[in-house]
Amino acid sequence: MKEVLNVVELFAGVGGFRLGLEKANSQVFKTVWANQWEPSRKLQHAYECYTHNFEEGIHSNDDITTVPNSVFQELEIDLLVGGFPCQDYSVARSLSGEKGLEGKKGVLFWEIKRVLENSHPKYVLLENVDRLLKSPSKQRGRDFAVMLATFRDLNYIVEWRVVNAAEYGAAQKRRRVFIFAYKNTLDYANRQSVFSENERLFKEGFFAKTFPVLEEPYQNRISTVELPNDVVEISDDFSFGFYTAGIMTGGHVFTAQPQVKEEHFIPLKDVLLDESMIDDNLYLNEKVAEKFAYLRGPKKIERTSADGHKYIFSEGGMSPTDDINGPGRTMLTSEGSVNRSTHIVEVNGRKRYLSPVECERLNGFPDNWTATMPNRMRYFCMGNALVVDLIEKMGQTIVEIEANEHITSEQIELNI
């Protein structure tokens, strides 16, 4: 094993991956390079927050597409992490024909691919919205299959799992798909190969060890598929219903829908500040309270489409305030605004928004982690952030894997 794992963090935001890994083991995980750049923004609030909270390592505020390959070739990366945008991953042959593939411009997953091609890390840990597994709507599963095939062609084995943070000890119902990839030459790959796919997904694999599940899938939802060898063929014609968990080895996909073994969460009330610490401007006045009552109430409204067609827009009702005895709902980037999705809590008979600190707590960040930026951006960044506690748990599993690893990054590169 290596005593230190060099980590590179892409699309770093305010540093949720790094914070979670350092909480897991700050002696093992050393972030050597991190990139955060928000296009079309003069003020780089997330980057400034990141550099305020972390001192070690190189902090890049450049468009990732402009960073030369030589940077990644020289970093000796062991673990690549990042929460990347969900985009259209369609591909086509390059103009030179068989010499390469061209991904759709602006798709940041291709930058992940470029980093992998130039550094060959042992491990990769990525996060995305769970709809990635079903996109695009007109060709279900294509985008995720393109990603899996990309990992296959770079000699990685992949596990994935959709995790609801509130089912594993967090205070927010936040569902995200996590993707863990590891080189097929690792000792860990050999150890996993003795188990059946069913055993790996439900008992012995990366996510089963980190987030335990029952040994039987939900409603017997298990399926397999072979990915075509040609990524262009996948992009053009492939469609498949991926379940919420799965394993891909050499292009063979085993996927299932596991069930949580023992759900436990932190109630929303446990992250609330004492009311004496709440700013007066967070409390709802009568006019705003009435607006929220309308937004959160049931409604049927006649609307007219762009082509003149009339239809009824229907929306079910939701509770006027959030249940503080249960976990919070999924926080969006619009949190703190007059929006149906915004959390509203009632304490001592008064209704109010969540404070920025309470939003940080919902995601497992320390209080005032984002205090370097205006409140509107604090809400926005927490709506984009991941739940730190989940990364901490996954980091602990990676430490356990690495403790039994004898293959070095240098040996991996020799096998490419």
Residue 86 is among the residues annotated as catalytic for this protein? yes
Is the Cβ–Cβ distance between 397 and 405 less than 8 Å?
A: no
Is the Cβ–Cβ distance between 363 and 385 less than 8 Å?
A: yes
Both tokens of 17, joined, read 């991956």
Pairwise CA distance, residues 69 & 91, whole Å = 21
Residue 182 pairs with which residues in a beta bridge? 123, 157
> What Å distances lie between residue 298 and 285, 292, 293, 336, 338, CA to CA?
22, 12, 10, 21, 17
Given the residues 49, 86, 359, 381, select the one marked as catalytic: 86
Pairing of strands 123-129, 222-226: unpaired
Give the residue numbers marked as catalytic: 86
